Amino acid sequence: MSRFRTFDRDADRKNQQRINEQIRITPIRVIADDGEQLGIIPTEEALTKAKDAGLDLVEVAPTEKPPVCRIMDFGKYKYQQKKRQSKGHVHQSQNKEVRLRPKIGEHDLMTKVERARKFLEKRDKVIFSVIFRGRENAHVDEGFKLVERVTKELEDVAKLESAPGMQGRRIVVTYAPK
Rounded to whole angstroms, how far apart are CA atoms 98 and 21? 57
Q: Confidence band (pLDDT; 50, 70, 90) for 92?
A: low
Q: Which residue has the higher pLDDT, 172 or 4?
A: 172
Rounded to whole angstroms, how far apart are CA atoms 175 and 172? 10
Question: Which pLDDT score, from 0 to 100, does residue 18 have?
Answer: 87
Question: Which pLDDT score, from 0 to 100, does residue 125 have?
Answer: 92
Mean pLDDT of the chain: 86
pLDDT in tens, 36-61: 899 999 999 999 999 998 999 999 88
- The domains of the chain are located at 9-88, 95-177
**Predicted structure pTM score:** 0.49
For the 95-177 domain, the top CATH level (class) is alpha beta
pLDDT in tens, 138-150: 989 999 999 999 9
* CATH superfamily, domain at 9-88: Translation initiation factor 3 (IF-3), N-terminal domain (3.10.20.80)
Strand 68-72 and strand 28-31: the pairing is parallel
Rounded to whole angstroms, how far apart are CA atoms 115 and 128? 11
